[in-house]
A = this chain, B = another copy of it.
Amino acid sequence: MTTGGERRARVLLSRLAEPYDERVQQVVAEHGVEALVGYVLRDGRIPGGPDLHRLGARVERATAVDDAEVARLVGARVLVPQDPEWPACLDDLEHPPWCLWVAGPGRLDEVVRRSVAVVGARASTAYGDHVTAGLCVDLVGRGFTIVSGAAFGIDAAAHRAALASDGCTVAVLAGGVDVAYPRANAELIDRIRRTGLVVSETPPGGAPARMRFLARNRIIAGLAQGTVVVEAGLRSGARSTLKHARELGRHVMAVPGSVDSLMSQGAHAEIRMGAELVTDGAEVAELVGHIGADLAPVKRGAQRAGDDLPDELRRVWQWLRPRSSSGVDEVMLRCGLTLAETLGALRSLEREGLAEELLDGWQRRPVGSR
């Protein structure tokens, strides 16, 4: 059969079956999408396979639709794995979507090549929103696309921050790309569609049903190289996105917060289960980005004078007083060194400009005088 046949079969199948239907997946793995659709259109009987005649219940409505016309009407395009724009990273999914409806100017495979999913609680706190914004602005500055689910709370904060910093962002919806949900985010979703991409495996017009939210999360995890949960209650759907990322072998990250916050409990539980604790964009980029280019600076306190000295010198230097002098014997006793070692250390410190010999002994040079 032709590629056009496979495309048509996939789009039709997306109207007939949910993508995580194990029995359908099994038949596709054995016979291919076109053969499966052929069986369903006939009578649902697969030679030696499971009974799929129940898919027939949707055939009439599904075949009545002109998908090209639908695509034109909603301003979307439909991708199948054979298309150059199909992101290869989705093929890692145990249940890849049959096809993807995509609306927006970005090219999906390219924009997700360097991307992070940032997800979290709908009932986020001000802390969560603020951390999400900082994280996403930082990641956009490092050239990452922000993938999320356009939900209230963390998702919306992630998309907004990406848009505000002129970054690229991808919203993966549970319903059709033309069904703005939640309604209150309609304007946000519209802005994403104008500059980034709105994506769904549900055909246009499809309702954002509960099962589809859970199924959608696997696509969020599948598109990005890593997923960060910013805030999540223990039962948050965001944790299912992290679970998918873990199963896909992608980077799994969570942002800590107050142990008193219910909205951080899910993040803390994930860190205890092995998710990497991240506190800023540099740490995310270090994990997700390419080795070398994105190494996060090691966090350390302000450099103190004497920090880079060998142990013995630092010990002597720390015992010296800045405004009164100490005799060599006193220094020797305090540092537990021999006289020769003590004198040697004092001379070295003098050369470094960290100590000076006065008439009555040795004194530490003021910090910063070096």
Contacts and interface: CB of A to CB of B under 8 A. Distances in A.
A334 B21 CA distance: 12
A256 B235 contact: no
Contacts of A131: 259-260
A17 B336 contact: yes
A54 interface: yes
A323 interface: no
A315 B57 contact: no
A258 B258 CA distance: 6
The residue among A210, A235, A338 with the most chain B CB atoms within 10 A of its own CB is A338
Given A51-B338, A57-B329, A332-B57, A256 B271 contact: yes
A299 interface: yes
Interface string A153-193: 00000000000000000000000000000000000000000
A259 B234 contact: no
A18 interface: yes
A54 B338 contact: yes
Contact of A301 (B17, B234, B315): B234
A17 to B, nearest CB: 7
A272 interface: yes
Nearest to A334: B209
Interface residues of A, number: 49
Contacts of A329: 57
Contacts of A234: 299-301
B259 A54 contact: no
Question: What is the total number of copies of this protein in its complex?
Answer: 2
Interface string A340-366: 000000000000000000000000000
Contacts of A339: 54
Contact of A276 (B256, B272, B301, B333): B272
Nearest to A276: B272
Nearest to A329: B57
Contacts of A226: none
Nearest to A54: B338
Interface in A238-285: 255-260, 264-265, 268-269, 271-272, 276-277, 279-280, 283
Contacts of A268: 256, 277, 279
A336 B259 contact: no
A251 to B, nearest CB: 13
A280 B301 CA distance: 27
Contacts of A209: 334
B259 A58 contact: no
A337 interface: yes
Nearest to A52: B338
6 contacts: A51-B338, A54-B338, A211-B315, A233-B301, A235-B302, A257-B259
